[in-house]
Amino acid sequence: MSSHHFVKENQEPALIIDHLTAFPFSKLEDLLEWAPQVICLSDAAPEALMYQFKIDVIMGIDLDVSTYTDFQDHIECISLTGNLWEGVISYLNKLKVPGAYFITDQAHAHQLINQMKPYAPYFDLQVISPEQRYILSRKKLWKKWISGSGRYTAAPFDPSQRLTATLFGKPISHHDPLETLDILYEGEGFIEIKATTCPYLISEPL
């Protein structure tokens, strides 16, 4: 199954594929369609090429470029030296995109979040697993219309941060502002999360 992405240049975050294990293609389709650049890290390349969606860049440490040249037309292969994530962020800077969505599995999600923390003040970053979307929010007021039932969490990155939330217009009872906000919902309306400083981490069901 193939997918092509059509979007005006630099308006949407790039899509970076870190791990595809157990990630259903149906959940990837919308993300792929709106990504101006699809960047695949070399460890995930075999699964990504099997899905047959359009890849713009394959990137990795000491990458053997000849391995991928016959799979798709117009794939750029970038071999990095040193720190992988510094190389990825440097490439995002070059693209001038506002941020990136990282596709990974649940086992690697929190490790990836920790690796992205230093870059969170400068880019709109999300880490997406088959179960959860983790938003490294740069907004002091984050607001979204939700419906149905589920669970949100919001956690500070720094001890000096204070987080509060309202759900459907009512404040969430929260005794310790240093702890993670745990927000269970059923119904429809707005959820609002306020922070004294940014960035901080929001988790929502995918």
Considering the entire predicted model, what is its pTM?
Answer: 0.89
pLDDT digits (tens, 9 = 90+) for 105-144: 999 999 999 999 999 999 999 999 999 999 999 999 999 9
Q: Does residue 185 carry a pLDDT above 90?
A: yes
Residue 146's Cα: distance from chain center in Å? Answer: 19
User: How many whole angstroms separate alpha carbon 26 and alpha carbon 169?
Assistant: 33
Q: Residue 30: its pLDDT value, please?
A: 77
Secondary structure string (H, E, C) spanning 135-197: EEECCCEEEEEEEEEEEEEEEECCCCCCEEEEECCEECCCCCCCCCEEEEEEEEEEEEEEECC
Q: Closest Cα partner for 117 from 65, 157, 161? A: 157
Mean pLDDT across 56-70: 80
